[in-house]
Structure 1
Amino acid sequence: MSRSHMQIGVRTQRVRDWWVEFTVPAASGLPRRGVLLTGLLSLLVVFLVLVATAINGTSSGAFFPLIYSGADPALLFGQPNLIRTDEWNVQTVWAITQVQQGLPALNGSFPGGMDSTIPQDLPRLDWTVAFRPHLWGFLFLDVDHAQAWKWWSPVFGLAAATWTFIVSLLPRRPLMAMVLAIAFTASPFFAWWLLQTTLWPVAWGFAVLAAAIWAARSTSRTALWVWRAVVGYLTVVVGMGIYVPFIIPVALVAAFVVTGIAIEASRSRGWATVVRRFSGLVIAGLGAGVILVLWIVTRWDTVDDFLSTAYPGERLEPTGGAANAQGVAAVFGSSFTNSLRHAGTFLNGNASESATFFLPGVFLGAIVLWLAVRERRAGRALPWSALLGYGAVLLLLAFIFVPGWDAVAHALFLDRSTSGRARIGLGFGSMVIVVLLLSRISPRSRPSWLVSSIGPVVFLASQAAIAIGLGVLAPDLLRASGVWWFYAVLGSVAILSVARGWRVVTATALLLISVAATYNVNPVYVGVFDLRTTQPAQTIEALDDAAEGTWVGLGGGLPTALLLESGATSFNGFQGAPGEVMWEAIDPAGAYELEWDRLAGVSWVNGEGEPTVMNPYPDQIRVTFDPCSEFAQENVDHVVSDQTQVPNSSCLRLHEEFRLNGADLKIWQVIPKAG
């Protein structure tokens, strides 16, 4: 062997020795501070780079072809995801509106104003923003970089919490833990539902589990206090998100697994010690509850109005809402995720509603049972965390597929979620089970090939059955799913590798499955498409500055977005709790209260006479507009209409016309009715 090869070998061995020493756990079995900080700082560096470059996944570029011809220079990869209207046509538009108005707590876009904290979660200047970390960028950055901050904050929060949980159980495997965390964060469900209300609850769930592990094992008082602070803070973050259908399933799984961790710890430390250590987390949660109560009390009118709406109001979901073959296929059809990008749906209403997780943990029930038998035979404590975690997953599956136990589901608050939203708990629970098993199974101690093969075989059979059903009933969806068989085989490999203790194979397979299914769901975009830079919005702003008035936008989404981002007061936009002043003007007799008393987008179309209100969909309010009506004459000063709407011009004076690429616009002034 040459001297150069010997030197390389020596250096390689030194690196290996350093790595082994670096990843040696503390005496408690937990990762050392250096490992934790290195992983978290690595994620932080990537986050800051993305914010500095303003790169994010907004689909606000959907407005670009309506204004300009040619290619959008800010679009680096992919195409705007039009189905994600909650992001690009609601939250992003409202965020820019807030910036235009100076980040007020009471947004002035609707007549009478709108609380900017519920439910749109808009950037604002009040104490509650301290618990909305994804909004901090709007306090000190321009809109482009603030959008990147908002986009990536919950993503990296989820990745960091997931990684911390995994590395707390597998301290010698920080790189593998990072791959697993990225794989989970890139799950199709998150990609299609990428909003802070979706990501923060799961980040909270992993933080709670990590905190429980540290409470059970750590000998550092500082570490315990840090975890109490993290749990308390994230509890407020999640609570202020107020989206209960995503919170409840995650909280249920977390409660079951934490109970299991406490039971396991009691065997070695005794219940008195466990209660004392875990009480700190309970106190942190109670402290968070005090903050949330204060927040709710200061905004009780808005909260009460929101909860008493006709839609969504207080919806209670019956058990077994997906108790049919289509429902089963929708939950477990992870191998067919590509159909969402091409066909736009997979057995549900739209791509977001159809999105699911790859659920390896669900198919590892035999391994959980084998582990319990092994531990019992060895005279060791049962793996209560895995058993109760799997029990929570089965409970969620029962809620989705088994009817007839509504009273129990109500007592567990499960009926505040839905069959589709409960998938978030399945995805969370599945990953928890995978990690718990990987921490206990190794090539030296693992089940037989027969037991190991049960999960992979069942998974392959389920995917084959779904494919056969689609081939008969919906062949277009099967074609749109592409190489579904490859995902099915790779998924079975991932399930088998957990059972065999092949940790690197597990992490690699899960990463491939997630990235392949989601890399093109959202575009890669620089900044945000800001309509305030366009000529129509600048004209609206100039008119409003010269003589402040109230507006109506007729037609599609562009007139509404232009009015909002320009900062004008109008009767258009996505409302939370309906405003009394606004609807008193539109519907003074309350004849259409059922139609407008809802969380929904408000749009306008041509009509005759006083406004009539209708609901094309439960979350849409469509109102007719006649400029000669009493409502318009008394309450509206200007109108913006697109080419789909030609209003009665006898009570309008044309101010300016814009020939745009995809949506010609006219701005009108409302004039008195003749005679």
Structure 2
Amino acid sequence: MTTPASADRSRLVRWIARYRKITRPNADGLPPLRVLLAFPALLLIVGVILVALGINGSSSGEMREYVEPGADPALILGEPQFTRSDEWNVQTVWAIAQAEQGFPLENQTFPGGMDTTVPQDLPRADWSVAFRPHLLGFLFLDVDHAIAFKWWVPGLALAAAAYAFLVSVMPRRPGVAAMLATGFFFSPLIQWWYLATTLWPAAWALATMAALIWALRSRSSMSRWIWAAVIAYLTVVMAMGIYVPFIVPSVLVVLFFAVGASIGRLRAGMRFRELGARLVPIITGGVVASAITVFWLATKASTVEAFLGTAYPGARSTPTGGSDALSFASAVGSSFTQALNAQRPGLLGANSSEASTFFYIGIYLLPVIVWIVAREVRARRRLPWELIGLTAVVFLLLAYLFVPGWDAIAKLFLLDLTLAARVRLGLGLASLAMLAYVIRYLDRHRAKAGLWLSLVPAGLFLLSQIAIALVAYRAIPAMLEPVQLWWLWALLSAFVIFAMSRRMIRTGAVAFLIVTVAGSGLTNPVYFGVYDLRETEPSKVIQEIDDTAAGTWVGVGSRVPTAMLLESGVEAFNGFQGAPSESMWSLIDPTSQFEYQWNRLAGVNWIPGTGDPVVSNPVGDQIEVTFDACADFAQEHVQFVLSDADGLDTNCLREIDSFEMPGDSTLSIFEVTPG
């Protein structure tokens, strides 16, 4: 007689057998197509739903508090992040400006125009947008849904690429691969730097490493060419983002992985000729991608030249060894991620984005990796060259951060073109790949690290978190207020390291997912649509005035006048510029007295002043210019002024309209009158 308990066990056994059959690798040791595409298909469904609902993570609602009082009806969960100003105060504002102007290749806000492709990456209607997939939504969706499309496409592509790589390494563990890919997506650095310029290099790196695995293992030439086509496309996508500080560490991780994987196949008996033949599709894709990129750059030669000729960032070169003990604490302080949400990085960095990091499980498993290599040496088996290559690039990146005096060699690897906080992306990618190969090795050999070997890295990580907490408690106790449970995340993270070492893989993956989602899940708000300033009363009046008597505007005061003018679509001397418009600055500074101050990638804002414009830089990426309506510049080149500034001299100004704003401020529209 069959009991309910035995029937349940029998059913469970059948389900396990069916799962193992479905996930059984093919003859090449690679996942079957249904396994490879399962999680990306789920992500696609989720993405379609989110875009259809217009839900995104934009912090554009941060602008609302300066314009309208009361609760934001579009805010579903979380809070807009002031620190994400590159997103809500630059990219989103410019995207709406582009929509208002009809997506031109040259935005006409600045007098003389501005190229929308370099380095702003704005939505536009030209052939290059085919390689900016996150911008395609603007061509057929309204702004609310286009912003959602822009938000989710690169992020979900990153998660899909992470899964594709992980499941290619661990074909029998698609569930673990999905959890690790999701956890990687929710890593602090990914969420705090959530822009296409960050996400596409990471997605490219993971997809390229997956393509290399398939190229070196798959018997199907068709699969190799399909992967090559994907990588060729993503290479152009990454290159057109042109943000070199994130591209360099991503490329270095792939380069070292490719060398390690190739040596591994050669040591396994593959002939050099066959190796070359297998890499032909990827090399061909790289050549095609390079040709497209070079052609595109050639069409943008004048803009690129002007951008590289700026005072900031210009031809920036960063020396080796610029990091210190606080930088190290910031890099390993993943248990304190929730403190960043309160914009209190404290010891961890200058601001929330710069302080963000990864939970580097793979790097913390370095003692286990050394044990794996020693074990293979003793057994006279093939060394795990993929792990060796990844470990080598980790040491290279760490040396760039902490070891001074080898700048000439660092320049050969283009490391001088990146920055310390951006190098963490490369460390995060290498760490994820190292973890995958550790799991693969432990599974293949049914092995686990010894108890002490597992406890040591977990214990060292835990001690590092305790040390950070003690220093913060004594020096900056306010840093710990938003992260009262840091000890819980530290313990759980240490358990992840221990569990992975002891081959408790599923349990470790679940714990990793909990740590990352709890720490960074609400870094960005859950928001419906976008806060569109065109729907406000001041913007409607601005557009009416411009329709009646088009003229050039200046916004004086806070960020609100600048954003209002941009989104209203009028010509203005305000905005965040890429390569400076010479024709605009020749009007403001005809003698080029302040060229060093305005020749930079920076936001252009105006404050009250006296006499001709004086240009200064409060910080490296901000340009502040004084405005006097009676000065020659205003009399000759400005017709209207939008201001919320106290102390603006209203001589030579006639008020047209004014609006009461939150915080007892007033936003006024003026016409410039003769002095």
- TM-score range (shorter-chain normalised) is over 0.9
- Does the Cα contact within 8 Å between 1:57 and 1:522 map onto a contact in 2? yes
Residue number in structure 1 paired with 2:174:
174
Is 1:669 aligned to 2:674, yes or no? no
The residue identity in structure 2 corresponding to 1:219 is R
Aligned partners of 1:300 and 1:59: how far apart in 2? 33
Q: Does 1:258 align with 2:265?
A: no
User: Is 1:18 aligned to 2:18, yes or no?
Assistant: yes
Residue 546 of structure 2 corresponds to: 544
SS, match of residue 317 in structure 1 = coil
Match of 2:364 in 1: 363
TM-superposed CA distance for 1:174, in Å, is 1.0
1:314-393 correspondence runs (5 A): 314-322=315-323, 324-347=324-347, 348-393=349-394
Q: Displacement, 1:450?
A: 2.0
The Cα of 1:453 is off from its aligned counterpart by 2.1
> 1:4 deviation in Å?
6.7
For residues 463 and 64 of structure 1, the distance between their equivalents in structure 2, rounded to whole angstroms, comes to 37
Q: Give the one of 601, 606, 609 matched to 1:607.
A: 609
Provide the C-alpha distance between the structure 1 equivalents of 2:662 and 2:623, rounded to a whole number of angstroms.
27
Deviations 1:52-80 (A, max 9, x none): 11111111111222222221110001111
Structure 1 residues 428 and 491, CA gap change in structure 2 (3 angstroms): same
Deviates more, 1:474-483 or 1:210-219: 474-483
After superposition, what is the alpha-carbon deviation per residue over 1:141-186, rounded to whole angstroms, capped at 9, x for unaligned? 1101100010111110100000000000111111111011000110
- What is residue 410 of structure 2 aligned with on the other side? 409
How do 1:369-518 and structure 2 match up within 5 A? Answer: 369-442=370-443, 444-518=446-520
Contact between 2:344 and 2:479, CA under 8 Å: does it hold in 1? no
Match runs of 1:588-627 below 5 Å: 588-627=590-629
Secondary structure of 1:609 counterpart: coil
Distance of 2:496 and 2:317 partners within structure 1: 36
SS in 2 for 1:201: helix
- Structure 2 Cα separation of the partners of residues 399 and 5 of structure 1: 59
Match of 2:49 in 1: 49
1:269 and 2:270 aligned: yes
Cα distance in structure 2, aligned partners of 1:271 and 1:159: 33
Whether the 8 Å CA contact 2:345–2:352 is kept in 1: the answer is: yes
Inter-partner Cα distance in structure 1 for 2:31 and 2:18: 15
Q: CA deviation at 1:388?
A: 1.3
Matches within 5 A, 1:243-254: 243-254=243-254
Q: Is the 8 A contact 2:67 2:662 kept in 1?
A: yes
TM-score (norm: length of structure 1): 0.97
Cα deviation per residue 1:587-638 (whole Å; 9 max; x = unaligned)?
0000000000000000001111110000000000000001111100111010
Does the Cα contact within 8 Å between 1:343 and 1:480 map onto a contact in 2? no
Of 13-22 and 305-314, deviating more is: 13-22
Say which SS state the counterpart of residue 574 (structure 1) adopts.
strand
Instruction: Report if the CA contact (8 A) 2:343-2:351 is conserved.
Output: no
Which piece of structure 1 moves more, 439-448 or 33-42? Answer: 439-448
**Once the 2 structures are TM-superposed, how far is the Cα of residue 12 of structure 1 from its aligned partner?**
4.3
C-alpha distance in 2 between matches for 1:423 and 1:141: 35
**How much does 1:204 deviate?**
0.5
What amino acid is aligned across from residue 367 of structure 1 in structure 2?
V
Q: Which moves more between the two structures, 568-577 or 16-25?
A: 16-25
Q: Equivalent residue for 2:522? A: 520
Kindly provide the CA deviation profile for residues 494-526 of structure 1, in whole angstroms up to 9, marking residues without a partner as x: 111221122102211211111111122111100
Q: Is the 8 A contact 1:129 1:135 kept in 2?
A: yes
Aligned length: 671
Question: 2:176 touches 2:505 (CA, 8 Å); kept in 1?
Answer: yes
Relative to structure 1, the CA distance from residue 489 to residue 28 in structure 2 (aligned partners, 3 Å threshold; closer, same or farther) is same
Indicate whether 1:78 and 2:78 are aligned. yes
* DSSP 3-state at the match of 1:103: coil
Please give the alpha-carbon distance, in whole angstroms, between the structure 1 residues aligned to 2:446 and 2:283. Answer: 38
CA distance in structure 1 between the partners assigned to 2:7 and 2:482 by the alignment: 53
Aligned mates of 1:629, 1:359 — CA distance in 2: 57
Task: Give the whole-Å Cα distance in 2 for the aligned partners of 1:525 and 1:38.
Answer: 28
Give the equivalent residue in structure 2 for 1:282.
Answer: 283
CA RMSD of aligned residues (A): 1.5
Once the two structures are superposed, the pairs formed by residues 47-126 of structure 1 within 5 Å of their partners are: 47-126=47-126
With over 3 angstroms needed to count, the CA separation of the structure-2 counterparts of 1:351 and 1:310, relative to structure 1, is same
Q: Distance in 2 between matches of 1:227 and 1:661?
A: 53
Aligned mates of 2:228, 2:167 — CA distance in 1: 18
CA distance in 2, matches of 1:8, 1:64: 56
Q: Distance in 2 between matches of 1:199 and 1:482?
A: 30
The residue aligned with 2:573 is: 571
Unmatched tracts of structure 2, length 5 or more: none
Which whole-Å CA distance do the structure 2 matches of 1:399 and 1:358 have between them?
Answer: 20
**Preserved CA contact (<8 Å) 2:493 2:511:** yes
Q: Equivalent residue of 2:496, what SS?
A: helix
Shift of 1:245: 0.6
Counterparts of 1:636-675 in structure 2, within 5 Å, are: 636-642=638-644, 644-662=645-663, 663-673=665-675
* Aligned residue identity for 1:621: I
Shift of 1:542: 1.1
Q: Deviations over 1:406-426 (max 9, x none)?
A: 111111111111111111111
**TM-score with structure 2 length normalisation?**
0.97
Unaligned runs of 5+ in 1: none
Runs of 4+ deviating beyond 6 Å: 1-7
How far residue 337 of structure 1 moved from its aligned partner, in angstroms, is 1.6
| SS of the residue 1:664 aligns to | strand
Evaluate the alpha carbon distance shift between residue 200 and residue 600 of structure 1 in structure 2; reply closer, same or farther with a 3 A threshold. Answer: same
1:343–1:477 contact (8 Å) kept in structure 2: no
The alignment partner of 2:623 has SS state of strand
State how far apart, in whole Å, the 2-side matches of 1:542 and 1:64 are. 22
CA–CA distance in 2 between the matches of 1:96 and 1:453? 53
| 2:45 aligned partner, one-letter code | V
Query: Aligned partner of 2:359: which letter?
Result: F
SS where residue 441 of structure 2 aligns? coil
User: What is the distance in 1 between the residues matched to 2:5 and 2:215?
Assistant: 48
User: What does the per-residue CA deviation read over 1:89-144, in whole Å, with 9 as the maximum and x for residues that have no partner?
Assistant: 00000000000000000000100000000111000000110000110110111101
- 1:235-286 Cα offsets, whole Å, 9 max, x none, are 1111011111111111111111111111111223222111111132122112
- Choose 365-374 or 597-606, whichever is displaced more: 365-374
Contact 2:83/2:343 (CA < 8 Å) preserved in 1? no
Structure 1 CA distance for aligned equivalents of residues 5 and 333 of structure 2 = 50
Partner of 1:163: 163
Contact kept? 1:605, 1:645, Cα under 8 Å? no
Deviation readout 1:277-297 (Å, 9 max, x if unpaired): 113212211211111110110
Question: CA offsets per residue over residues 417-459 of structure 1, 9 Å max, x none?
Answer: 1111111111111111111111111383122112222211221
In structure 2, give the amino acid aligned to 1:505.
Answer: T
Give the structure 1 partner of residue 224 of structure 2.
Answer: 224
Change (3 A) 1:452 1:12: closer
Supply the distance in 1 between the matched residues of 2:446 and 2:5 (Cα, whole angstroms). Answer: 33
Deviates more, 1:591-600 or 1:452-461: 452-461
How far apart, in 2, do the equivalents of 1:333 and 1:98 lie? Answer: 40
